[in-house]
Every structure is written in structure tokens, then in C-alpha cells.
Amino acid sequence: MTEADTKQEAKKVPAWRRKKVGCCIVLGCIILIIVIAVVISVATKHKKHAVGGEFSKDFTVSWAPNHTRLSNHGRRLELFLDPESGSGFKSNNAFLFGSISMDIKLVPADSAGTVTAYYLFSEAANHDELDFEFLGNSSGEPYILQTNVFANGTGEREQRINLWFDPTTDYHRYGVLWNRRQIVFLVDDLPIRVFTNNEDMGMAYPNQQPMRLYSSLWNGDKWATQGGRVKIDWTHAPFIASYQNYHLDACPATDSLAPCASPVANQWWDQPEYQTLSATKQDKLRWVEQNYMVYNYCSDMKRNNGTVPSECTRNSAGFLGLDSLPH
Ligand SMILES: *[C@@H]1O[C@H](CO)[C@@H](O)[C@H](O)[C@H]1NC(C)=O
Ligand SMILES: *[C@@H]1O[C@H](CO)[C@@H](O)[C@H](O)[C@H]1NC(C)=O
Ligand SMILES: *[C@@H]1O[C@H](CO)[C@@H](O)[C@H](O)[C@H]1NC(C)=O
Ligand SMILES: *[C@@H]1O[C@H](CO)[C@@H](O)[C@H](O)[C@H]1NC(C)=O
């Protein structure tokens, strides 16, 4: 059939039928629009979380706004430390479970005595807390990343690693994956530490208190660098740590725990593949433990009165380094 023929055919259709066809087209369009809207909303549902946006949307400067600076259209935040003050910020929402991360560039050159703390914290009396603490160092000497886990007010679970890159020349991603079964500390998506749910051993696990994401830059020269022997050299101030590209893919529980604590919440981080470390991830964790760990509370025999805390074997990729680590 040619185009002309088609037009002829159309003309032959009676008026009442054309009207009906018109109605059907309108109805079809409406249904199509609804279907498209539903598909789009389903497709973007898991992207509702805040990704790398403007800091002012999801964070508040909670300490010394006059020692912070926003740049890159509000998508980069810098914290300053000088003799007058350090500074810090926190997320507006508190979260219970999820994946939280941010790209950070640490204080360059002589950062001795400075501490850049980056942590989840619940503000409650018997608080929960997941810590990354970056301990500065003299120019050219390695930063130490100290991690710790507090559950129901109990911490004292420090681990320290050296990083396998210079954290001051580029942004690197630091984050946690936190669900009912485990907490994985990640550096550039490599697991550096895992803390499993050991409630079956009578040990508290962070699963009842929503936590905000915090970060601050402060003077820690009483203890941070070489046990406090190296002090801050203020002639090198201001010290600056930079942040960008945050991901808060987590369940907001600021007002109520219920939706996040519900066992039927069934978020992506509740899926089986996130309940334990895969064999590949275990290998990566073992690589970190064997090559970069410089302190592990698990092997601090003096502190533990000659015992290994019961959770330690579960929380390691098989390397406790009992003999090789400094006490
Ligand atoms: C900057 O803020 C800090 C902390 O709030 C305060 O102690 C200090 O006086 C402020 N400095 C100036 C120059 O306003
Ligand atoms: C948390 O600690 C408090 C006081 O130390 C204790 O009474 C409570 O049972 C603990 N809760 C859990 C879940 O371990
Ligand atoms: C700083 O550098 C010294 C010398 O390399 C090293 O012993 C120490 O572990 C480093 N880190 C800190 C935080 O002291
Ligand atoms: C080790 O013993 C000391 C002194 O008895 C005690 O205060 C401390 O809590 C013990 N530490 C551990 C981890 O059991």
C-alpha cells in the first residue's frame, strides 16, 4: 500500500469510528505516560540517596565555620586547622545500616600532630561509633590510619595500618558497608577491616542506634605522631583536609529506627552477598593485614592480659600477626 492509498483508506473510515479511534489514542497515551512514569520511578528508586552533591544539602558545619571553605560549586569542602581553631562538619541525617563513603585528600607535607577524624557516631550515652582516624606525620613519613569500633559504649578495639599510597596527593575513598551481619571498613573499595556481629558471643553490635557521619581536623599532638613525641609545627599552618564526592546510600533513621531496623526492609546491603566477605575480598583483607597492619589490639598481649579477645579470629582474614606486631 502506498502512502496515498493509506490516506484514502483513512478517509473511508466513518466519523463515529474515527472519534472512537481518537479516544483510544488519548487513552493509550495516558496509559503509556503512566507506565513510563512508573518505570522511571522504579529505576531511580535506589538512586534516591545523596551522591556527591553539594555539602550544604546534606551536611552542617558543626565546628568553626570560619575555618572551613566550600568550592567547586559547593561540592568540595575544606577543613582548616591553625593555632586559633580546628573545624568539623556532620551529616544532617542519622543512618541505620547502609553504605557511606567520601573522597578525602589529607593534610599534605608536614602534618605531624594533626588528626583528621572521619567517623560514624550515635551521640547516645552508651554510644556506637565507627572510626577512621588519620594520624599526620612529618614530611615524607607515612600517615597512619587508625580504626576503632564502639558498640554500646565499649571501644578499645584499635587497629592501625599504613596506607599503600600517599593519601595527601590525591583524593581516595574511605567508607563503610554496615548491615546486620557485618561492618566492613573500606579504602578505595578494598576491605581493610571487618567487624562481624558477635551478639551470639554476648558482645554488643551497632544495630540499635542511628549514627551521623562526622569529620573534623584537630590538634592531636599529645598522642598522634610517634606517640606524641612529634608536635605540630605551627609555622606550617593552616593545615587543610579536603572532601568531595560523598555517598550516603544508607537508611535515614533520624526520626525513627523502625523502617531501617525492620528485618523485612530488604535493602541491597541485606542481600546474601553483603553478609560476609567474598573469597576475593578475604584475600584483599589478608593482603592488608599481612603487609600494612602496624598495630592490632587483638595481638596486644599486654593490654589483653595474655589472651586474644574472643571476636578476633572471626574479624580477621586469618592473620592475627600475634608474634610479628609491635606490642
Ligand atoms: C572562628 O571560630 C572559632 C570557633 O567558633 C572562634 O573561637 C574564633 O574566635 C573565630 N575566629 C574569628 C576570627 O572570628
Ligand atoms: C548496653 O550497656 C548497658 C549498660 O552498660 C547494658 O545495661 C545493656 O544491657 C547493654 N545493651 C546491649 C544491647 O548490650
Ligand atoms: C610517622 O613516621 C615514623 C617514622 O617513619 C613512623 O615510625 C610512625 O609510625 C609514623 N606515623 C605516626 C602517626 O607516628
Ligand atoms: C587486664 O587486667 C587489668 C588489671 O587486672 C584490668 O584492669 C583490665 O581490664 C584487664 N584487661 C582485659 C582486656 O581483660
Per-residue pLDDT of 118-163, as tens digits, reads 999 999 999 999 999 999 999 999 999 999 999 999 999 999 999 9
Determine the atom of ligand 4 nearest the C-alpha atom of 156: 13
Mean pLDDT of the chain: 87
H/E element, 71: strand 68-71
Q: How far is CA 320 from the centre of its chain?
A: 25
Q: How many CB atoms lie within 10 A of CB 97?
A: 23
Report the alpha-carbon distance of residue 136 to residue 294 in Å, rounded: 15
Task: Answer yes or no: are the C-beta atoms of 127 and 209 closer than 8 Å.
Answer: yes
Q: Is 135 in the pocket of ligand 3 (CB under 6 A)?
A: yes
List ligand 4's pocket residues with C-beta within 6 A.
304-305
Instruction: Look at residue 316 and tell me whether its pLDDT is greater than 90.
Output: no
Instruction: Look at residue 34 and tell me whether its pLDDT is greater than 90.
Output: no
**What backbone torsions phi and psi does residue 133 show, to the nearest 5 degrees?**
-125, 120
Which of 8-17, 209-218, 285-294 bottoms out in mean pLDDT, i.e. has the lowest?
A: 8-17
Instruction: Look at residue 11 and tell me whether its pLDDT is greater than 50.
Output: no
The string of pLDDT tens digits covering residues 214-256 is 999 999 999 999 999 999 999 999 999 999 999 999 999 988 8
What pTM was estimated for this model as a whole? 0.84
Task: Answer yes or no: are the C-beta atoms of 175 and 101 closer than 8 Å.
Answer: yes
Instruction: Look at residue 295 and tell me whether its pLDDT is greater than 80.
Output: yes
Report the alpha-carbon distance of residue 225 to residue 138 in Å, rounded: 8
CA distances from 133 to 115, 245, 258, 293 (A): 7, 19, 31, 14
CA of 304 from ligand 4 middle (Å) equals 7
Residues 29-36: what's their mean pLDDT? 61
* Better-scored residue on pLDDT, 92 or 327: 92
Residues 276-298: what's their mean pLDDT? 94
The model's confidence at residue 304, banded by pLDDT at 50, 70 and 90, is confident
DSSP conformation letters of 73-94: TTTEEEEEE-SS--EEEEESS-
> Assign residue 172 a region: left if phi > 0, alpha if psi is -120 to 50, beta otherwise?
beta
Report the alpha-carbon distance of residue 112 to residue 136 in Å, rounded: 5
Burial group, residue 116, by CB count within 10 angstroms (0-12, 13-18, 19+) = buried
**Nearest residue (CA) to ligand 2, atom 1:** 152
pLDDT of residue 144: 97
The model's confidence at residue 26, banded by pLDDT at 50, 70 and 90, is low
Q: How far is CA 86 from the centre of its chain?
A: 22
Among all ligands shown, which has an atom nearest to the Cα of 298? 4
Q: Is residue 78 annotated as part of the catalytic site, yes or no? A: no
Instruction: Look at residue 308 and tell me whether its pLDDT is greater than 80.
Output: yes
Q: Is residue 129 annotated as part of the catalytic site, yes or no? A: yes
Report the share of the chain in percent with pLDDT over 90: 71
pLDDT of residue 101: 98
